[in-house]
Amino acid sequence: MKYTRLTKEQLEELHQEFINFLATQSITGDEWKNLKEEKPNVVEDEIDVFSDLVWEGVLNKVKYLENISAQQMHLFHTTEKEMKLISVKVMNPDIDLTTSVGFNWFKKNWQSDFVDYLTASKAYTEDKNLDKFKLIQQGAVITKGELYQWFDSIIG
């Protein structure tokens, strides 16, 4: 398995897609019931393959990722050739960017001496989607990129 297995909730949301996937494997509803009873390892394998296909489809579409913690923001733009990063560090220990109070402080004080910025870019490894997935595993979330684009227009 290349990524991680979808959760039960995610699989339930993708119920129809999973049925279609099983159909492409020539597995009928009755056969699926039999497999669950008689060959649970085959069932596990099919769920893993489906999970990887879903992740691959999602990761192909990812353009922006954000990882925001109490004092740092890592904003990623995943272009065709490389990953671009805007890193923001708040050097005020009383500020927590994950709270509305902390983020509002940041919006007012983003140009202060208490805020450091760094930009960088990095080429992908041989597997660009796996690179994106690793960022998600480290806590990044997929976004539309408004925050990245705003910073890019200011400091870019």
Q: Residues 26-45: pLDDT tens digits?
A: 999 999 999 999 999 999 99
Q: What are 82-103's pLDDT values in tens digits?
A: 999 999 999 999 999 999 999 9
Model confidence at 156, pLDDT cuts 50, 70, 90, reads low
- Tell me the pTM: 0.88
Residues 78, 146: Cα–Cα separation, whole Å: 14
Taking a C-beta distance cutoff of 8 angstroms, is the pair 67, 141 a contact? Answer: yes
